[in-house]
Amino acid sequence: GTYILTTALLPLLEKEADARVITVSSGGMLVQKLNISDLQSENGTFDGTMVYAQNKRQQVILTQQWAKTHRNIHFSVMHPGWADTPAVRSSMPDFYQKMKNSLRTEAQGADTVVWLAVSAEATKLPSGLFFQDRQPVPTHLPLASTYSPPEDEEKLKEVLEELSQKFKSTSPG
Protein backbone atom coordinates (compact mmCIF):
# COMPACT_ATOMS: atom_id res chain seq x y z
CA GLY A 1 0.00 0.00 0.00
CA THR A 2 1.33 3.36 1.10
CA TYR A 3 4.75 1.98 2.03
CA ILE A 4 5.35 0.10 -1.23
CA LEU A 5 4.18 2.93 -3.48
CA THR A 6 6.05 5.66 -1.63
CA THR A 7 9.34 3.77 -1.36
CA ALA A 8 9.14 2.89 -5.08
CA LEU A 9 8.72 6.58 -5.95
CA LEU A 10 11.39 7.98 -3.61
CA PRO A 11 14.34 7.70 -6.06
CA LEU A 12 12.41 9.69 -8.69
CA LEU A 13 11.08 12.22 -6.20
CA GLU A 14 14.59 12.86 -4.82
CA LYS A 15 15.54 14.28 -8.23
CA GLU A 16 12.67 16.79 -8.40
CA ALA A 17 12.87 20.42 -7.24
CA ASP A 18 9.48 20.66 -5.53
CA ALA A 19 8.67 17.04 -4.73
CA ARG A 20 5.85 16.45 -2.28
CA VAL A 21 4.27 13.37 -0.78
CA ILE A 22 0.87 13.87 0.81
CA THR A 23 -0.82 11.02 2.62
CA VAL A 24 -4.50 11.14 3.52
CA SER A 25 -4.84 9.76 7.01
CA SER A 26 -7.74 10.05 9.42
CA GLY A 27 -8.55 11.43 12.83
CA GLY A 28 -9.38 7.83 13.65
CA MET A 29 -5.67 7.26 14.18
CA LEU A 30 -5.85 9.49 17.27
CA VAL A 31 -7.28 6.56 19.26
CA GLN A 32 -4.60 4.08 18.19
CA LYS A 33 -1.12 3.38 19.49
CA LEU A 34 1.24 1.79 16.99
CA ASN A 35 1.10 -2.00 17.15
CA ILE A 36 3.93 -3.55 15.16
CA SER A 37 3.32 -7.06 16.48
CA ASP A 38 0.31 -7.76 14.23
CA LEU A 39 0.45 -5.65 11.08
CA GLN A 40 -1.53 -8.24 9.12
CA SER A 41 -4.35 -8.37 11.74
CA GLU A 42 -3.98 -12.12 12.08
CA ASN A 43 -4.43 -12.31 15.86
CA GLY A 44 -7.59 -11.71 17.86
CA THR A 45 -11.01 -10.70 16.63
CA PHE A 46 -10.97 -8.63 13.45
CA ASP A 47 -12.34 -5.10 13.86
CA GLY A 48 -12.23 -3.24 10.55
CA THR A 49 -12.57 0.19 12.14
CA MET A 50 -9.62 -0.42 14.47
CA VAL A 51 -7.52 -1.93 11.67
CA TYR A 52 -8.25 1.19 9.60
CA ALA A 53 -7.27 3.46 12.51
CA GLN A 54 -4.08 1.44 13.09
CA ASN A 55 -3.14 1.78 9.42
CA LYS A 56 -3.72 5.53 9.60
CA ARG A 57 -1.45 5.73 12.68
CA GLN A 58 1.21 3.88 10.69
CA GLN A 59 0.88 6.40 7.85
CA VAL A 60 1.51 9.30 10.24
CA ILE A 61 4.61 7.63 11.67
CA LEU A 62 5.96 6.74 8.22
CA THR A 63 5.45 10.33 7.06
CA GLN A 64 7.45 11.61 10.02
CA GLN A 65 10.24 9.10 9.40
CA TRP A 66 10.46 9.79 5.67
CA ALA A 67 10.59 13.53 6.36
CA LYS A 68 13.69 12.98 8.51
CA THR A 69 15.52 10.82 5.98
CA HIS A 70 14.51 12.43 2.66
CA ARG A 71 15.20 16.13 3.07
CA ASN A 72 14.69 16.96 -0.62
CA ILE A 73 11.05 15.86 -0.48
CA HIS A 74 8.33 17.65 1.47
CA PHE A 75 6.14 15.12 3.31
CA SER A 76 2.74 15.90 4.79
CA VAL A 77 -0.07 13.80 6.18
CA MET A 78 -3.58 15.09 6.69
CA HIS A 79 -7.03 14.42 8.09
CA PRO A 80 -9.77 15.67 5.75
CA GLY A 81 -12.30 15.94 8.55
CA TRP A 82 -15.47 13.90 8.58
CA ALA A 83 -16.96 14.35 5.12
CA ASP A 84 -20.22 13.09 3.67
CA THR A 85 -18.84 10.44 1.36
CA PRO A 86 -20.14 7.06 0.22
CA ALA A 87 -17.41 5.41 2.32
CA VAL A 88 -18.56 7.13 5.52
CA ARG A 89 -22.19 6.28 4.77
CA SER A 90 -21.49 2.59 4.15
CA SER A 91 -18.75 1.86 6.68
CA MET A 92 -20.14 3.85 9.62
CA PRO A 93 -23.93 3.98 9.19
CA ASP A 94 -24.68 4.78 12.85
CA PHE A 95 -22.11 7.58 12.88
CA TYR A 96 -23.50 8.87 9.59
CA GLN A 97 -27.09 8.94 10.88
CA LYS A 98 -26.09 10.89 13.98
CA MET A 99 -23.69 13.28 12.27
CA LYS A 100 -25.01 13.68 8.71
CA ASN A 101 -26.06 17.29 9.22
CA SER A 102 -22.61 18.23 10.54
CA LEU A 103 -20.42 16.44 8.00
CA ARG A 104 -18.26 18.35 5.55
CA THR A 105 -18.84 18.30 1.83
CA GLU A 106 -16.41 16.32 -0.30
CA ALA A 107 -14.92 19.63 -1.51
CA GLN A 108 -14.35 20.78 2.07
CA GLY A 109 -12.69 17.46 2.85
CA ALA A 110 -10.41 17.82 -0.18
CA ASP A 111 -9.38 21.42 0.54
CA THR A 112 -6.33 20.71 2.69
CA VAL A 113 -4.90 17.94 0.51
CA VAL A 114 -5.14 20.20 -2.55
CA TRP A 115 -3.56 23.07 -0.60
CA LEU A 116 -0.70 20.81 0.51
CA ALA A 117 -0.15 19.69 -3.10
CA VAL A 118 0.01 23.11 -4.76
CA SER A 119 0.60 25.85 -2.19
CA ALA A 120 4.00 27.45 -1.75
CA GLU A 121 2.92 28.24 1.83
CA ALA A 122 2.66 24.54 2.65
CA THR A 123 6.33 23.86 1.89
CA LYS A 124 7.42 26.74 4.13
CA LEU A 125 6.21 24.64 7.07
CA PRO A 126 8.38 21.77 8.33
CA SER A 127 8.18 18.47 6.51
CA GLY A 128 6.46 15.59 8.28
CA LEU A 129 3.56 17.45 9.90
CA PHE A 130 -0.04 16.28 10.36
CA PHE A 131 -2.63 18.75 9.01
CA GLN A 132 -6.30 19.52 9.29
CA ASP A 133 -7.91 22.64 7.85
CA ARG A 134 -4.56 23.79 6.45
CA GLN A 135 -3.07 23.87 9.94
CA PRO A 136 -0.57 21.57 11.62
CA VAL A 137 -2.31 19.71 14.44
CA PRO A 138 -1.08 17.28 17.12
CA THR A 139 -0.80 13.60 16.27
CA HIS A 140 -1.83 12.54 19.77
CA LEU A 141 -4.73 13.49 22.03
CA PRO A 142 -3.85 14.55 25.57
CA LEU A 143 -3.93 11.59 27.97
CA ALA A 144 -4.74 9.12 25.15
CA SER A 145 -1.67 6.90 25.71
CA THR A 146 -1.03 6.60 21.99
CA TYR A 147 2.69 7.43 22.01
CA SER A 148 5.00 4.65 20.89
CA PRO A 149 8.61 4.07 21.85
CA PRO A 150 11.00 5.32 19.14
CA GLU A 151 12.33 1.79 18.66
CA ASP A 152 8.82 0.59 17.73
CA GLU A 153 8.52 3.40 15.21
CA GLU A 154 11.87 2.41 13.68
CA LYS A 155 10.86 -1.25 13.67
CA LEU A 156 7.72 -0.36 11.67
CA LYS A 157 9.81 0.36 8.56
CA GLU A 158 11.75 -2.88 8.99
CA VAL A 159 8.59 -4.98 9.31
CA LEU A 160 6.95 -3.22 6.36
CA GLU A 161 10.07 -3.78 4.26
CA GLU A 162 9.96 -7.51 5.09
CA LEU A 163 6.26 -7.67 4.18
CA SER A 164 6.83 -5.74 0.96
CA GLN A 165 9.59 -8.16 -0.07
CA LYS A 166 7.18 -11.07 0.40
CA PHE A 167 4.59 -9.24 -1.69
CA LYS A 168 7.11 -8.49 -4.43
CA SER A 169 8.33 -12.09 -4.52
CA THR A 170 4.78 -13.42 -4.97
CA SER A 171 3.66 -10.82 -7.52
CA PRO A 172 3.30 -11.96 -11.13
CA GLY A 173 5.87 -10.63 -13.57
Where residue 108 falls among pLDDT bands split at 50, 70, 90?
very high
pLDDT the model gives residue 85: 86
Distances (CA, A) of 56 to 34, 35, 123: 10, 12, 22
- Please tell me which residue, 168 or 120, carries the higher pLDDT value: 120
Average pLDDT over residues 103-118: 96
- Please tell me which residue, 172 or 36, carries the higher pLDDT value: 36
Indicate whether 147 pLDDT > 90.
Answer: yes
The domain that contains 63 carries what CATH number? 3.40.50.720
Indicate whether 44 pLDDT > 90.
Answer: no
Instruction: Indicate the average pLDDT of the chain.
Output: 93
Where residue 150 falls among pLDDT bands split at 50, 70, 90?
very high
Q: Which long-range contacts (CB under 8 A, 24 or more apart) does 32-35 make?
A: 32/56, 32/57, 32/146, 33/57, 33/145, 33/146, 33/147, 33/148, 34/58, 34/61, 34/148, 34/152, 34/153, 34/156
pLDDT the model gives residue 168: 76
Q: Which of 1-10, 43-52, 146-155 is least confident?
A: 43-52
Domain count, the chain: 1
Catalytic residues: 52
Residue 162: which H helix or E strand, with range? helix 150-170
Indicate whether 133 pLDDT > 90.
Answer: yes
Range of the domain at 19: 2-170
Where residue 171 falls among pLDDT bands split at 50, 70, 90?
low
Indicate whether 61 pLDDT > 90.
Answer: yes
Q: What is the pTM of this model?
A: 0.90
CA distance 22 to 37: 26
pLDDT the model gives residue 16: 96
pLDDT the model gives residue 88: 84
The pLDDT tens digits of the residues spanning 71-94 come to: 999 999 999 998 888 888 898 889
